[in-house]
Chains A and B, each alone.
Chain A
Amino acid sequence: MSENVQDIMDDLELDALTELVNIGVSRAATNLRDMVGEEVHLSVPSVDLIRRKKAVEILSRNDSKLVAVHQVFEGDITGRALLIFPETRSLELVRAVTSGNLPLEDIIDLEQEALAETGNIILNGCLATMANMLQRTFKISLPEILRGDGDLLFNMPPPPESGDVVMFVYINFAIRSRDIQGYIAMLMDMPSLTTLQLLLREFIQRTGGADGASLA
């Protein structure tokens, strides 16, 4: 494998991957809006393909205590999807997606449930959009909450084999004037990454190529 994972995909394939994630996150924001009853402001997601070790380094830069919503996806592409926040922001997220005026003890009680629901909406938005637009089906597990450092989040035992490549998405969204910064990470093994690349090439051909369907 190339030392630089980014070299595995060319610019247009990365562009297509970014656009898929952008559409997925945008749809998720629309679903979140219906959940919280007001507009969810969303940054433009940036997408990187990096090694697991680098992902752990990035996550450890600012916060060692992290909370993540974790879901396993299986199909032509198999891996793990994680929505990750610094633990210090997780209660802010819960405040944002609940009424915002709840006492602290209620917020703590609701934390697990609110995190799982929010993570489920965002991760499913991304995974389902990717699956639909790549014309494939993913089986997605129920959300699970994990707490720990980056090393723990990215070194969970298989199954499935999570591999060494991480699709790393940085997003920033704001709900009820509360800024929530988080990461979406998808861990894939090399066969899954190779399959993803092939599916992206087909998607590019259908979408912008000389023949086929017409989606922007």
Chain B
Amino acid sequence: MTYNILVVDDSKLARMAVAKILKVRHPDWNHLEAANADEALAHMKTSKVDIALLDFNMPGRDGFVVASELRQLNAEMPIAIISANYQREIVQRAKDFGAIFLTKPLTEEALHKFLEDVMATGKVGGK
């Protein structure tokens, strides 16, 4: 099964880092990159996105705003919010939203566990 993962982060290096992990762990998966909310929404409208990884602290709309907009287009899509800002209110907001909170810097193990967990739920699309 292959999946399309959308990585939204204003840092190019952070997007490269996720791509690098995916290339090692899931070389057959497709990954799409967006530097902001508008680019993320454009991908959602032109591609079938199965999983989204969203940076929290971005210029313009933050990760939660982007997550809300993505959920309007795909209500069931698994979403992870990624940030070094792990204040309990922010972690709780992620939980309330039904997203998983992952801490920056993101480790290969943490990302792999998130992906394993969402695949185990059977809710994620893929082909």
Interface residues of A (CB under 8 A from B): 11-12, 15-16, 18-19, 22-24, 26-27, 29-30, 33, 38-40, 42, 44, 129, 133, 204, 207-209, 214-216
Contact among B11, B82, B86 for A15, CB-based, below 8 A: B11
Contacts of B20 in A (CB 8 A): 207-209, 214
Q: How far is the CA of A18 from the CA of B25 in the complex (A)?
A: 27
B16 touches A23 (CB 8 A): no
83-110 of chain B: CB within 8 A of chain A = 83-90, 104-108
Given contact pairs A44-B58, A208-B17, A214-B21, A26 touches B84 in the complex (Cβ within 8 A): yes
Q: How far is the CA of A40 from the CA of B90 in the complex (A)?
A: 10
User: Which residue on A lies nearest to B21, using beta carbons?
Assistant: A214
Interface residues of B (CB under 8 A from A): 9-14, 16-21, 24, 57-59, 82-90, 104-108, 111
Contacts of A44 in B (CB 8 A): 10, 57-59
B18 touches A15 (CB 8 A): no
Contacts of B10 in A (CB 8 A): 44
Pick from A19, A38, A209 the residue with the most CB of B within 10 Å.
A19
Contact among B16, B84, B87 for A207, CB-based, below 8 A: B16
B88 touches A26 (CB 8 A): no
B13 touches A214 (CB 8 A): no
B85 touches A26 (CB 8 A): yes
Q: How far is the CA of A44 from the CA of B57 in the complex (A)?
A: 6
Smallest distance from the beta carbon of A204 to chain B beta carbons, Å? 6
Contacts of A214 in B (CB 8 A): 17, 20-21, 24, 107-108
Q: How far is the CA of A194 from the CA of B84 in the complex (A)?
A: 27
Contacts of A23 in B (CB 8 A): 84, 104-105
A18 touches B11 (CB 8 A): yes
Contacts of A18 in B (CB 8 A): 11
User: Which residue on A lies nearest to B112, using beta carbons?
Assistant: A214
